Structure 1
C-alpha cells in the first residue's frame, strides 16, 4: 500500500490544502473584516516608521563618518580659465 493511499495522508491533504472558508455569521464576517483592515493599516504604519528610522540612521551614520573632516564648501576656490566661442557647426552639402 502506497503512503499516498493511507487514510491519514488523505485526511491531512484535505485539511491542509483546502481553501479557507468565510464564516457564515454576518457579525463575525464584519468583525474579521475590521480586524483584517486594522492589521493592514498597522503594517503600513509600522513600515513607514521603520523606513523613517532607516533614513535617520543612514543620515546619522554619514554625519558620524564625516566628523572631524573639513566641510566641502570651505576648500572650494575659484577656477580660472580661458575660453573661446565656437561657431555653429556646418555640415557639407549633400549631393
Structure 2
C-alpha cells in the first residue's frame, strides 16, 4: 500500500479530487489543434444529427396528418358559389318599420 493512501489532510484530498476531474490541455501545439478539430467535427456531427432528426420528425408529422385526412370524407359541392345557411322569412311590415326607425 502506498503511504499517502491513508493521509487525512483535507486540503490535499480536495486538491487530488479537483485534479482527478480537471481536464488537462496537451502542451504540444499540433496536438491542441488536432483536439480542437476533433471537437469541432464532433460538434458538427451532433448539429447535423439534430437537424436530420428534427426534419424527420416534421416529415413524419406531415405524412401522418396527410394520411389521417385521406380517411375522413370531405363533403364537396358541385357548385362552390353556394353559401349554406339558415334563413327566416320576414314580412314586409316589419321591414318598413325598421327602415322608418333608422331615419
TM range (shorter): 0.5 to 0.7
Of Structure 1 and Structure 2, the greater helix share is in 2
Corresponding residue for 1:49?
Answer: 52
> Does 1:29 find its partner at 2:32?
yes
Larger Rg over CA atoms: 2
Q: Structure 1: where are the runs of 5+ without partners?
A: 82-95
CA drift of 1:63 comes to: 2.1
Backbone CA RMSD of aligned residues: 3.4
Q: Specify the SS of the correspondent of 2:70.
A: coil
Q: Structure 2: where are the runs of 5+ without partners?
A: 1-7, 87-103
State the TM-score, normalizing by the size of structure 1. 0.59
Corresponding residue for 1:16?
Answer: 20
Q: Which consecutive aligned stretches of 4+ in structure 1 deviate over 6 angstroms post-superposition?
A: none
Q: Number of residues paired by the alignment?
A: 76
